[in-house]
Amino acid sequence: MSPAPENAPEHCPGTESEQAGKASACEGCPNQNACATAPKGPDPDLPLINDRMGTVKHKLLVLSGKGGVGKSSFTTQLSFALSHDEETQVGVMDIDICGPSIPKMFGLDGEQIHSSNSGWSPVYVTDNLGVMSIGFILQDADDAIIWRGPKKNGLIKQFLKDVDWGDLDFLVVDTPPGTSDEHLSVVQYLKESGITGAILITTPQEVALQDVRKEIDFCRKVKIPIIGVVENMAGFVCPNCKGESSIFAPTTGGARKMAADTSVRFLGSIPLDPRIGMSCDQGLSFLEEYPDSPATKAYLNIIEEIKKVLS
């Protein structure tokens, strides 16, 4: 029987048990559905996943309990920045199954996955930056993805075991909001090969912070190391006068205080520059297009902090 997570109901069968989410002890547990649909027991595909992931040096999850805080835009700009060094090999895996925005943000709209004897090939932005997303599989970009947990789990597994990622310095995983199927699946599949850590994204207001606290709790329960928290959209910077004004008021102290309260590293704040959204719409690197923006300087400082943690 697999161990029960912390604060689980009495007689919890454990997240990996065949009875997870189905036992009488599971009734009323908020994670009942997630446990019932998550993969359980010895998985015959795990050796294949471990083999693929054995050539990946760092596996980074970009997480947030809250939607709309800029996980995908941060994933994009982080990956662009890491790949700026042509000797650094970077992969991006988009597991936001129902809202795959990564292809557009990398300028890869309309691209399709190619197969070879070694498996699926990532779609490449540059020679050292490859991307995998369900967005490359859809016949129409506007098609709704109406999938239950097991089908989502199956696609995530395919991304890990069937994609020929090759030798990577970084695999950056963009995730949907919350702590449910997709998150449990990627943690389960990467358990043996190891997750380097999670980068948590929030905005300054309390309504976002309260969900990110849940994400911190999730990481600790499933034993994902937390690299740190990033405060996104921390004020608006005028592109002309460089003046800054608060858009999402940090009424409870913002991400810096939350990080201190939860003993998590605070990586930094990124001001809201409207050109970030424009760059993402156009599939461009904001950091290269607008090197003098205060947001670019904030991004680069945060990326240096992340590298320090990983070194």
Q: What residues are designated binding site for ATP?
A: 65-72
Rg over CA atoms, the chain: 19
Name the residue among 220, 149, 215 with its Cα closest to residue 182: 149
**Residues tagged in the binding site annotation for [4Fe-4S] cluster:** 12, 26, 29, 35, 238, 241
Q: What is the DSSP letter of 80?
A: H
Residues 104 and 280: beta-carbon distance below 8 Å: yes
Q: What sign results for the dihedral spanned by CA atoms 85, 86, 88, 89?
A: positive
Q: What is the DSSP letter of 293?
A: S
Instruction: Give me 228's structure tokens.
Output: 């740190």
Contact 284, 107 (CB under 8 A): yes
Binding residues: 12, 26, 29, 35, 65-72, 238, 241
CA dihedral sign of residues 16, 221, 96, 29: positive
Helix axes 71-82, 274-282, angle to 10 degrees: 70
Other CB atoms within a 10 A radius of the CB of residue 148 amount to 10
Helix (H) or strand (E) holding 119: strand 119-121
